[in-house]
């Protein structure tokens, strides 16, 4: 699917969590945009299923994405978070890839920060 370096050599259970697979923000945006357009080399029905699974509550399906977090178990603290996805608003659909690093950052925290920013910019209507 032309996702990042496409290296899954570190194993099917670990290539995506600190393993061999790597992707940058631009690659994430390209992937999300292709998924939004159902232009990935996968059955469109499967792409629609993935998009249905990542819808975030409270915006009538207009806010969708996937979070991820890094956790330092020795210190019991989240150390990074990311959120990729799409938002639909009055100006159309925007794809995003957001990453924050440092103590206290988690995927859900990045998601909420991004939700507020998109609403403030007018790229996402306020939730219900």
pTM for this predicted structure: 0.86
At residue 17, the pLDDT reads 64
pLDDT tens digit at each of 128 positions of the chain: 888 888 888 877 767 667 788 888 899 999 999 999 999 999 999 999 999 999 999 888 899 999 999 999 999 999 999 999 999 988 889 999 999 999 999 999 999 999 999 999 988 887 76
Contact between 125 and 119 (Cβ < 8 Å): yes
Extents of the domains making up the chain: 25-121
Pick the CATH number of 25-121 from 1.10.540.10, 1.10.1740.10, 3.40.710.10, 3.40.50.620: 3.40.710.10
d(CA 8, CA 44): 24
d(CA 111, CA 77): 18
- Scanning the structure block, which residue is given the tokens 């945009």? 33
d(CA 73, CA 79): 10
**Segment (H or E) for 45:** helix 44-53
């Amino acid at each position: 699917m032309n996702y990042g370096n496409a290296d899954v050599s570190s194993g099917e259970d670990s290539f995506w969590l600190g393993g061999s697979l790597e992707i940058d923000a631009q690659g994430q945006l390209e992937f999300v945009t292709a998924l939004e357009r159902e232009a990935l080399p996968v059955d469109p029905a499967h792409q629609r299923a993935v998009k249905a699974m990542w819808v975030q509550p409270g915006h009538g399906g207009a806010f969708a994405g996937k979070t991820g977090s890094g956790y330092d178990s020795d210190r019991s603290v989240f150390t990074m978070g990311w959120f990729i996805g799409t938002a639909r608003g009055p100006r159309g659909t925007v794809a995003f890839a957001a990453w924050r690093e440092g103590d206290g950052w988690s995927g859900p925290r990045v998601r909420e920060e991004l939700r507020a920013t998109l609403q403030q910019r007018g790229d996402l209507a306020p939730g219900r």
